Structure 1
Amino acid sequence: MIRKTASSAIASLAVLGLVSETAAGERAVECYEQVNRPSVYETVYENVLVSPAGQQVDYVPAIYGTRERVVQIVPQRVSYEIVPAVTHTIYRTVKVDDGGYSWEWRVIRGRKVLCKVRHKARYERVAETVVVQPESQRRVVSPAEYERVAEEVLVQPEQRRIVIVPASYQTVARRVVVSQGSSGWRRLHILRHCRY
């Protein structure tokens, strides 16, 4: 409180001194400038408890093994299947049209005339399927089918284990004020203006 009062008084004196010098045209007797001192900070590190110590139960799962054995999955069976007929394709030429006569209009030397036209017999090659061996039935015996089957067997039962979990800490940084900032006045000597 005393420092603030003194600073205010010095500031008032400095202002009055400048005013009086300006007004009177005389040299200032004393001069001061304001000095600001910033706050000083420091980073400190501390260990902070993240999780307290405790106990944890771990379960070790049961261990299983496998055992193989042979089992019949499909019994012997008898079935009958159809053996399709064996066929053969032969080709032969047959008459499909006897030919004959027909009447049609034609233009010959600029004259339209009705003409009797003769048509030849027409033949085509046709395919014919013949049976070489008829369809038959055949007895089919399918043998029984076996498979190796794996069975699950318990080797070791489930186990429970208690584990001690230590406390967990974490280092955190924070800034703290070492000294608060302040402001004050410093006396100056300015050549030809202010003297001590």
Structure 2
Amino acid sequence: MSLRTSAVLTAAVVVLGAASPAFACRGVECYDEVRLPDVYRTVDRPVIVRPGYREVVDRPPVVVVRPERVMVAPGRVSYEMTPPVTRTVFQEIVVRPAGYRWASTWGPYGERRCKVPVPAEVKVVPREVLVRPGRRVRVVQPPIYAVRERAVAVRPAGRYVVDYPPVVAQERARVLVRRGGTAWVRAERTSYGW
């Protein structure tokens, strides 16, 4: 190797050594400024899949149909007249009373007049006889009932609020724990002196 080549190599080592932090420090301790990377960590974190909400629900009434005895017409009291009770009887009526009449007869001695009895003329006539007179009678009519179906509300209509909680899931995510930067690290000794 020539002297010139050797000198060039020595100069290159000196220039490179001067640029190196290890060669720049001539004291007892030397430190290099190094770049620190960002520190990440994988964590489970909650994620809202669906937000919670509130719903107003109208509840219809519950109605059942029940049979019920209902008065259709109220009872009442009235008065009626009963007809009289009669009976037919037969009665003899004298149309012509009994008496006498003169009857003429002819005999050996001439005309003879005699008084002859005449019986009464009687006729049988029917006649209505009152047995019991008509009267006023009290008539009581009871109330009239019927069975009808009636709707009965067992539970009235209402309104209530239903709260639905949010749906939350766990998601794995890579999060930054510490931002990187620069730090001073003690330089290692090398064969060049440090």
When the two structures are superposed, what TM-score results if normalisation uses the length of structure 1? 0.30
